Amino acid sequence: MNQTELKEFLDAKVIQYNNPKFLDSDPIQIPHLFTEKEDIEISAFLTATIAWGNRKSIINNATRLMELLDNNPYDFVMNHSENDLEALTGFVHRTFKDVDLIYFIKSLKNIYQNHQGLEQVFAIKNEENSLQTAISDFKSIFFEMNHPLRTTKHISDPKKGSAAKRINMFLRWMVRDAATGVDFGLWKKISPSQLSCPLDVHSGNVARKLGLLNRKQNDGKALAELDRNLRALDPIDPVKYDFALFGLGVFEKF
């Protein structure tokens, strides 16, 4: 395919997958349980944090996590007691354990109390065509309090070469337009043009087959290469193609 044909093909796949049916089997269904901005943000951030492995397991554990937060995540974050935190003991999703979750809750409270919330933290140092520096700076703020060393592995750092798949996915959820009923369009201080594709095994393999990616590793350099090629197809909303790449990989075994 030439570039025109590739764009037409991928645009059609975006339409096929970027619709409410996508919610049925995707972890983004969890923040769709909520209506208030802060509840959506926090539930989305925590869900994205554990979004690796089997998607059914991700959804089940994210559902349980919301139940542990009394299905009122912002209120829990801001008003929890030590006894409330003890009630989180026993939560685990793969290598994300209760000790990590407890720190995440404390750090989120610090961000809302002292940094004007998640949106503001990510909006401080965003570049014209990238949020990767902003993600790295977010990690510094997130771990500015005393924390278990083991917990730092659950927030990726692009400055250390990571593709930061889960945070880029979370940012897509928050920033992209809500018109199709999938993403939320909640954050107005960041433009969809700044987003990066959540790069994982599925999207990476499809991107390589389509000539959008040459680098073999799914790392920060690969993400930068994929970003350039997706921006050439649509500089205004390049990450809409996440739906095409993911759908082709997961649902069509492309």
Q: Which pLDDT score, from 0 to 100, does residue 105 have? A: 98
Q: 96 forms bridges with which residues in the sheet?
A: 93
Kindly state whether residue 254 falls inside one of the protein's structural domains: no
Kindly state whether residue 66 falls inside one of the protein's structural domains: yes
CA distance 98 to 102: 6
Q: Where are the beta strands (DSSP E) in 50-138?
A: 92-93, 96-97
Kindly state whether residue 226 falls inside one of the protein's structural domains: yes
CA distance 131 to 82: 35
Nearest to 93 by CA among 58, 45, 55, 69: 58
Average pLDDT along the chain? 96
Question: Tokens representing 108?
Answer: 């989120």
**Digit-coded pLDDT (tens) for 152-194:** 999 999 999 999 999 999 999 999 999 999 999 999 999 999 9
Kindly state whether residue 160 falls inside one of the protein's structural domains: yes
CA distance 160 to 140: 13
Nearest to 95 by CA among 150, 47, 140, 163: 150
Print the domain residue range for 206: 3-249
**Digit-coded pLDDT (tens) for 34-63:** 999 999 999 999 999 999 989 999 999 999
**pTM reported for the whole predicted model:** 0.96
Kindly state whether residue 106 falls inside one of the protein's structural domains: yes
Kindly state whether residue 18 falls inside one of the protein's structural domains: yes
Kindly state whether residue 30 falls inside one of the protein's structural domains: yes
Helix or strand run (H / E) with residue 121: helix 118-123
Kindly state whether residue 214 falls inside one of the protein's structural domains: yes
Q: Which pLDDT score, from 0 to 100, does residue 142 have? A: 98
Q: 73 versus 251: which is more confidently predicted?
A: 73
3-class SS at 252? coil
Q: Into how many domains does the chain fold?
A: 1
Distances (CA, A) of 124 to 61, 135, 157, 190, 235: 32, 10, 16, 10, 22
For residue 140, pLDDT over 70 is answered with yes
Residue 218 neighbours by CB under 8 Å, 6+ apart: 163, 165, 199, 200, 201, 204
Long-range Cβ pairs for the range 54-58 (8 Å, 24+): 55/25, 55/26, 55/27, 56/25, 57/93, 58/27, 58/93
For residue 126, pLDDT over 70 is answered with no
